Amino acid sequence: MLLTNAHVISPGLDLPNASVLIEGGKIAEIANHSSGDLDLGGKMLLPGFIDIHSHGADGADTCDASSESLEHIARTKLKEGVTTWLPTTLTQPQERLVEIVQTVADWADSAPLAVPGIHLEGPFINREQAGAQNPEFVRPPDLNELRELHQIFPLLILSLAPEMPGALNLIREASAMGITPSAAHTKADYATVMAASGYGLKHLTHFGNAMTGLHHREIGVVGAGLLEDCLRLELIADGIHLAPEMLELIFARVLRENIMLITDSVSSSWQPDGDSTLGGLDVEIKDGVARLKDNGALAGSTLRYQHGLRLVQEITGEPLSELVATTSWNQARSLGLPDVGRIEPGYRADLVVLSADFEVERTFVRGE
């Protein structure tokens, strides 16, 4: 397939009126052909988005432990331009997590997008920072449980609270297993985060949310994320989980290669206002914002991936050729995902076509 009249935007690359030749599911050539199979009319062509933190969409949740739910989420994420997805769990009982991970393992090969692994959020978190996680199922770090799940299907990210007893050992062991440890739902102080980084902690989950904030005498997890270049930040760029001014501060301070846009979307995304549930907890969606009914805590997001990129571009005013690394390339590098995240010969033809107002026109997975 030859795509013509494309505005190709990839990390460090901005080519108007370009053409992209796809052969065997991969990008074969970037040139300037005048005619081909599909004229994109000058629309933006970006690497397909990689959402490393998304629980669900449009009434379906990874924790449904249902292949039908996973398929529905995947096809909904394709409408957001997402071509690689890490199904993300919630804090659930051990036997339920086994069922969930097994369901993903059985389904992944037939998925309409790339599913290289799972993001295990919880259950090894701090109950006092549970947020919208169900505190009933929070438990101490357990290496045997982690190994059991990882043997069923690869866990690519483990979100946990590094201050909990046994967490540092789990971080070390997870890193040795090829799992990326990430701090989440935590009351850790700065010193604990930095100690954990020495054991292999690399990410900060939904940065700014359910973690210790910045204080002038103890800069906490947020301060560590702003200060230390050894940590990569997941950002929910919906203007709600992080105020626009906070997004501006993050992009002013943090290296571009350390920023990864996520949605943290839940089953409430793509849904109208009303009642929903999350991990057994009652949720209300009002004005597109999902919150727990009992305490008003934010319960994931209803963000569509492309709209996060649009907001960041509006706030920072930076060229998309700089920002686009935060939607795919940084995730691919951090998790060791090969051949994705750039529009270059030899890379997989996972692509998204965006209109001028950042709406998804087409999504390609391996050139299809």
Q: Which amino acids are annotated catalytic?
A: 264
What's the distance, Cα to Cα, between the start and end of the chain in Å?
A: 9
Residue 121's contacts (CB-CB under 8 Å, 6 or more residues apart) are: 53, 55, 88, 89, 90, 91, 133, 159, 184, 205
The dihedral sign for the CA sequence 195, 91, 106, 95: positive
Cβ distance 299 to 206 under 8 Å? no
Length of the chain, in residues: 368
Residue 303's contacts (CB-CB under 8 Å, 6 or more residues apart) are: 236, 237, 238, 263, 264, 265, 269
- Rounded to whole angstroms, how far apart are CA atoms 354 and 359? 5
Cβ distance 122 to 185 under 8 Å? yes
Helix and strand totals (H; E) in the chain: 10, 20
Question: H-type helices in the chain, by residue range?
Answer: 67-78, 94-107, 143-152, 167-176, 190-199, 220-227, 244-253, 305-316, 320-323, 329-335
